[in-house]
Structure 1
């Protein structure tokens, strides 16, 4: 599932006329890159939640030849990154695992590694995570040495000079846990879903990312990602250019 509904308010004027999933990176919309990356995994179907400027995204999808079937549905109102799972509850129940990714993060390593780590760990929910400073803007994760998450805090007041493991905005989950997500409310992974699962005795795990990761939710970070692409720092972009 690709999260493509948000207003992209941090982008300022860039998203006044263009939805964030269609903003370009290295000459291609962010959503286009994600669809290509999904096709490089064991993904068999892609689901998108839409809301802000949904018509533009639908037109893009109509003009794109995706390598896997894509199903889009518009949320009447935003329900957050975990709440959006409810939009496709019945469809997702048919799968062994659900990979969820935001449009505004760029992860260097293959998405399949997260899926494989989730399966090996036997987790109900697995966070892709990365270690950074200035973590107060993200979901901060408390992780055991064995990779099991013992605590999750959304945007905690932690010192900027400390390094913390954070949610990287990419997840893998057992579709049965969607039943833990209430309907018609804003629901997040670190703030609500992970604590609810742990309280219910479910295993929540972390997959520690290696290599490149960037949040591209602001104009500066999107520009910097473009510069990184030009320097060959985003592995899958470099691999495609070499083909």
Structure 2
């Protein structure tokens, strides 16, 4: 599942005439970098949710055979968007990937596939130590215990790549909601896990993030 429905308001004028996933980084649209990771991990089917400038997104993704979950009339956020896309995705577990980040290092989806343990986990999140993060200000999202269980607060930044089971989505009684609501349920059960990414990562949420991401791709570190 590629999350590609947002408005990209922090990009300012760059998203006045295009959706954020089509903003170029190193000469290619952001979403193409995410598609490279999905294809390399042999993820199938690939689904993208769209909303803002939906026709442009459809046209761009058509040659790649990506299934489309069009959120209309309202955007559904990450949790609602994933739930709406479930008929297109197939059985659990599901990989999800944000399309507004650049990675330098191993494919995070490969790491998720390798580390996934359904006996212990309802979700496994790729997390990046703050020292290897670019384009992101503020505190981290999570800390991790010796067994890999996550807790709120700490230096680890969620990188926007995860593997998870989706059964709890049916129990959330609102159309639009963040995946944080799902994670809170998993946290309470002790089944939200993380894997520390060994490379570097850049959040491309603002125009300044584009140069940071291009520097990361060229040099391999933040």
Say if 1:139 and 1:186 are closer, same or farther in 2 by CA, change over 3 A.
farther
Superposition TM-score, scaled by structure 2 size: 0.86
CA distance in 1, matches of 2:171, 2:139: 22
Aligned with residue 81 of structure 2, among 80, 84, 87: 84
| Residue number among 159, 163, 167 corresponding to 1:172 in the alignment | 163
Question: What's the CA shift for 1:43?
Answer: 0.8
Structure-2 residue corresponding to 1:195: 184
Alignment of 1:35-54 (within 5 A): 35-54=35-54
Which consecutive segments of 4 or more residues in structure 1 shift more than 4 A? Answer: 133-139
Judging changes above 3 Å, is the alpha-carbon distance between structure 1 residues 42 and 175 closer, same or farther for their aligned structure 2 residues? Answer: farther
Count matched residues. Answer: 215
Offset at residue 90 of structure 1 (A): 3.0
Change in CA separation of 1:17 and 1:53 when aligned onto 2, cut-off 3 Å:
same
Change (3 A) 1:210 1:44: same
Deviation at residue 129 of structure 1 after TM alignment: 0.5
Q: Quick one: structure 1 residues 136 and 33, their matched pair in 2 at CA, closer, same or farther if it must change by over 3 Å?
A: closer
Cα distance, 1:202 vs structure 2:
5.3
Contact 2:144 2:194 in 1 (8 A): yes
Given that 1:86 and 1:183 are in contact with CA atoms closer than 8 Å, whether structure 2 keeps it comes out as no
Correspondence 1:75 to 2:71: yes
Is 1:204 matched with 2:202? no
Q: Is the 8 A contact 2:47 2:88 kept in 1?
A: no
Pairwise CA distance, 1:95: 2.3
Among candidates 122, 125, 128, match of residue 127 of structure 1: 125
Name the stretch that deviates more: 24-33 or 45-54. 24-33
Provide the secondary structure at the position in 1 that maps to 2:48: strand
User: 1:26 offset after TM fit, Å?
Assistant: 1.6
RMSD: 2.3
- Give per-residue Cα distances to partners, 1:54-89, cap 9 Å, x unaligned: 111111123x3x2xx410121121222222111122
Q: 1:96–1:175: 8 Å Cα contact kept in structure 2?
A: yes
Q: Distance in 1 between matches of 2:166 and 2:118?
A: 16
Runs of at least 5 residues in structure 2 that lack an aligned partner in the other structure: none
Aligned partners of 1:48 and 1:72 also within 8 Å: yes
Name the SS of the counterpart of 1:119 in structure 2: coil
- Native 8 Å contact 2:168 2:182 kept in 1: no
Secondary structure in structure 1 of the residue aligned to 2:205: coil
Q: Distance in 2 between matches of 1:140 and 1:180?
A: 24
Compute the displacement of 1:180 (Å).
Answer: 4.1
